[in-house]
């Protein structure tokens, strides 16, 4: 295959889309479809950036900047409208480029670049939602994880030290995973406690329907918000408890089932209770579903007299925040708790972390090695191994 091309930025997510093109014929194709803004012939020396237009049969598709990334490897930066990226990809196909996904493309060129972690960073960058996570990932490619692994190679005989370091990086990586992929936070709890009101307040929009009728939320509503360095995918769920009027309602039963399913994949549960009511009768299946999650108990309606006795609550209460969505009291404290429970402050962009399943798998093996030879193999695999795509 002489040329491959892929859109390497997230689809429809930014002002700019990047299409990368690599292979023996890449330059020949660019010379056919790119008109430089300057009159003289385009100079595609590695490291240059050229401004001009991509055109097809005399018609301009878009104004672009072309980065000459490496030998026979170029990046076409066009406007972010997905239709433009699609039109350029179609044009490249007409010129016999093989169109690939982001992962396939980087996997294809990974043999020539020889730094697997750097390639993984490039792939991951297309999905990242915060600047902090971008810096964290970029730092792994030259310093961070790569630097640590290179250091281990020099002292592969010191296996106890390597085991301890690998285990420590793995532990940090769990928090990093939430910072990179975002935190899946699910708002759960009994009916009418204020779950949908909380979602609306946190995203600043009336996304979910709020009424004083128990069982208002049937289908879940999800929103995306950014809290400082943390990207949160926030999902509202149907109340999970026995509502006499709805007990035989098929829709209600399905909604409750769906709520439990959503909880399965949650990184964090915001467990909302109505503090103006007596202690809730929580179902065992709900307590089970949240047992091993990070939980913040949110005692809502603090503007009303409290009837809740915190000590009798049948859920883990490591973190409890009293709020009133009506008055806004306690909302800042809740946001702070969310950041704290996700360990946002504990992560430094310069420290080594593992950000792909491949890296985590190898570190897990490294944390259990019993010979220097095995350590050597695993570290080399970490630095220069095949991508898992
Ligand atoms: N007094 C008071 N009322 C509140 C507060 N937060 C929400 N409410 C009211 O509580 C009622 C229920 O709110 P929702 O947000 O619909 O509750 P929910 O948990 O989503 O309810 P379901 O979808 O039925 O499970 C509404 O009438 C809200 O206006 C609060 O802080 N104080
Ligand atoms: Mg609701």
Q: Is the pLDDT of residue 315 over 60?
A: yes
Query: In DSSP terms, which residues pair with 20 in a beta bridge?
Result: 6, 75
Same domain, 69 and 201: no
State whether the beta carbon of 240 lies less than 6 angstroms from ligand 1: no
> Residue-wise over 266-294: b if at least 16 C-beta within 10 A, else e?
bbbbbbbbbbbeeebebbeebeebbeebb
Q: Output the pLDDT for position 173.
A: 92
Going from the Cα of 200 to the center of ligand 1, the distance in angstroms, rounded, reads 11
What is the overall mean pLDDT for the chain? 87
Same domain, 79 and 189: no
Q: 77: domain CATH number? A: 3.30.1360.120
Q: Output the pLDDT for position 311.
A: 61
Which of 210, 272, 276 to mutate to test ligand 1, by most ligand atoms within 8 A of the CB atom? 210
Note the pLDDT tens digit of each residue in 257-269: 666 778 888 999 9
Calpha distance 106→103 (Å, rounded): 5
Going from the Cα of 332 to the center of ligand 1, the distance in angstroms, rounded, reads 19
Going from the Cα of 31 to the center of ligand 2, the distance in angstroms, rounded, reads 57
Q: Which atom of ligand 1 is nearest to the CA of 300?
A: 31
Q: CB–CB of 191/213 below 8 Å?
A: no
Mean local confidence (pLDDT), 72-76: 94
State whether the beta carbon of 239 lies less than 6 angstroms from ligand 1: yes
* % of the chain beyond a pLDDT of 90: 55
State whether the beta carbon of 200 lies less than 6 angstroms from ligand 1: no
Q: CB–CB of 148/352 below 8 Å?
A: yes
Note the pLDDT tens digit of each residue in 16-48: 899 999 999 999 999 999 999 987 788 899 999
Q: Output the pLDDT for position 244.
A: 46
State whether the beta carbon of 299 lies less than 6 angstroms from ligand 1: no
Q: Which of residues 15 and 353 earns the better pLDDT score?
A: 353
Ligand index nearest the alpha carbon of residue 190 = 1
Calpha distance 252→332 (Å, rounded): 33
Which structure tokens are listed for 188? 């759960």
Q: Which atom of ligand 1 is nearest to the CA of 304?
A: 1
Same domain, 200 and 331: yes
Instruction: For residue 23, give Cα distances in angstroms to 5, 20, 74, 141.
Output: 9, 10, 9, 23
State whether the beta carbon of 245 lies less than 6 angstroms from ligand 1: no
Indicate the residue among 95, 111, 127 that finishes a domain.
111
Q: What is the DSSP string of 247-308?
A: TT-HHHHHHHHHHHHHHHT-SEEEEEEETTS------HHHHHHHTTSEEEEEEE-TTS----
Going from the Cα of 187 to the center of ligand 1, the distance in angstroms, rounded, reads 13
Is 356 a member of any domain?
A: no
Going from the Cα of 272 to the center of ligand 2, the distance in angstroms, rounded, reads 11
Q: Which of residues 37 and 255 earns the better pLDDT score?
A: 37
Is 265 a member of any domain?
A: yes
Is 295 a member of any domain?
A: yes
Same domain, 225 and 328: yes
Q: CB–CB of 75/102 below 8 Å?
A: no
Same domain, 214 and 335: yes
Is 362 a member of any domain?
A: no
Q: Which atom of ligand 1 is nearest to the CA of 214?
A: 24
Q: Which of residues 126 and 366 earns the better pLDDT score?
A: 366
Calpha distance 312→280 (Å, rounded): 9
Do strands 183-188 and 268-274 pair parallel, antiparallel, or not at all (unpaired)?
parallel
Q: Output the pLDDT for position 1.
A: 54
Q: Output the pLDDT for position 66.
A: 96
Q: Is the pLDDT of residue 95 over 80?
A: yes
Beta-carbon contacts of residue 216 (< 8 Å; ≥ 6 apart)? 191, 192, 196, 209, 210
Question: What range does the domain containing 202 cover?
Answer: 181-345
Among 163, 150, 174, residue whose Cα is nearest residue 366:
163
Same domain, 338 and 191: yes
State whether the beta carbon of 325 lies less than 6 angstroms from ligand 1: yes
Q: Is the pLDDT of residue 356 over 90?
A: yes
State whether the beta carbon of 326 lies less than 6 angstroms from ligand 1: yes
Distance in angstroms between the alpha carbons of the first and the last residue of the chain: 19
Q: Is the pLDDT of residue 364 over 90?
A: yes
State whether the beta carbon of 212 lies less than 6 angstroms from ligand 1: yes
Indicate the residue among 64, 88, 111 that finishes a domain.
111
Q: Output the pLDDT for position 255.
A: 67
Q: Output the pLDDT for position 96.
A: 95
Q: Output the pLDDT for position 378.
A: 95
Is 368 a member of any domain?
A: no
Note the pLDDT tens digit of each residue in 324-352: 999 999 999 999 999 999 888 788 889 99
Indicate the residue among 66, 85, 111 that finishes a domain.
111
Note the pLDDT tens digit of each residue in 197-252: 999 999 988 777 777 777 666 667 889 999 998 999 999 987 766 444 445 566 55
Is 319 a member of any domain?
A: yes
Is 285 a member of any domain?
A: yes
Calpha distance 3→372 (Å, rounded): 41
Same domain, 276 and 196: yes
Mean local confidence (pLDDT), 294-306: 93
Q: Which of residues 242 and 354 earns the better pLDDT score?
A: 354
Going from the Cα of 214 to the center of ligand 1, the distance in angstroms, rounded, reads 9
Q: Output the pLDDT for position 243.
A: 47
Cα–chain center distance at 368: 28
Which of 197, 276, 308, 321 to mutate to test ligand 1, by most ligand atoms within 8 A of the CB atom? 197
Q: Give the count of domains, the chain.
A: 2
Same domain, 238 and 335: yes
Q: Which of residues 109 and 243 earns the better pLDDT score?
A: 109
Burial class (CB in 10 A: 0-12, 13-18, 19+), 55: middle
Same domain, 185 and 265: yes
Is 13 a member of any domain?
A: yes
Same domain, 227 and 331: yes
Q: Is the pLDDT of residue 379 over 60?
A: yes
Same domain, 219 and 86: no
pLDDT tier at 270 (50, 70, 90 boundaries)?
very high
Q: 257: domain CATH number? A: 3.40.50.300
Q: Which residue has the tokens 């709890």?
A: 189
């Amino acid at each position: 295959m002489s040329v491959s091309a892929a859109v390497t930025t997230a689809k429809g997510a930014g002002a700019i889309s990047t299409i990368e093109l690599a292979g023996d014929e890449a330059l020949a194709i660019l010379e056919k479809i790119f008109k430089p803004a300057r009159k003289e012939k385009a100079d595609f020396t590695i490291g240059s950036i050229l401004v001009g237009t991509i055109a097809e049969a005399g018609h301009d598709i878009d104004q672009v900047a072309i980065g000459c990334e490496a030998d026979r490897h170029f990046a076409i930066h066009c406007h972010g409208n997905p239709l433009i990226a699609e039109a350029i990809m179609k044009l490249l196909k007409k010129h016999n480029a093989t169109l690939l996904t982001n992962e396939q493309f980087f996997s294809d060129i990974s043999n020539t670049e020889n730094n697997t972690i750097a390639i993984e960073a490039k792939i991951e960058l297309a999905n990242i939602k915060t600047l902090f996570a971008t810096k964290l990932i970029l730092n792994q490619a030259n310093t961070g994880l790569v630097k640590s692994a290179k250091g281990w190679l020099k002292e592969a005989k010191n296996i106890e030290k390597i085991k301890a370091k690998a285990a420590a990086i793995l532990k940090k990586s769990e928090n990093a995973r939430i910072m990179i992929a975002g935190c899946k936070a699910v708002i759960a709890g009994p009916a009418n406690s204020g779950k949908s009101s909380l979602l609306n307040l946190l995203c600043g929009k009336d996304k979910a329907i709020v009424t004083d009728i128990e069982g208002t939320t049937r289908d879940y509503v999800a929103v995306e918000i950014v809290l400082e360095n943390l990207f949160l995918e926030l999902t509202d769920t149907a109340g999970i408890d026995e509502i006499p009027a709805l007990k035989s309602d098929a829709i209600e039963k399905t909604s409750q089932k769906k709520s439990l399913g959503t909880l399965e994949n949650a990184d964090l549960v915001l467990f909302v209770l109505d503090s103006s009511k007596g202690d809730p009768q929580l179902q065992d299946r709900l307590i089970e579903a949240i047992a091993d999650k990070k939980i913040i108990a949110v005692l809502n309606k603090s503007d009303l007299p409290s009837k809740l006795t915190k000590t009798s609550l049948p859920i883990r209460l490591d973190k409890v925040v009293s709020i009133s969505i009506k008055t806004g009291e306690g909302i800042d404290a809740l946001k702070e708790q969310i950041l704290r429970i996700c360990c946002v402050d504990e992560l430094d962009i310069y420290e080594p972390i593992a950000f792909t399943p491949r890296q985590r798998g190898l570190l897990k093996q490294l944390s259990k090695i019993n010979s220097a030879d095995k350590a050597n193999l695993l570290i080399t695999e970490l630095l220069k191994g095949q991508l898992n795509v």
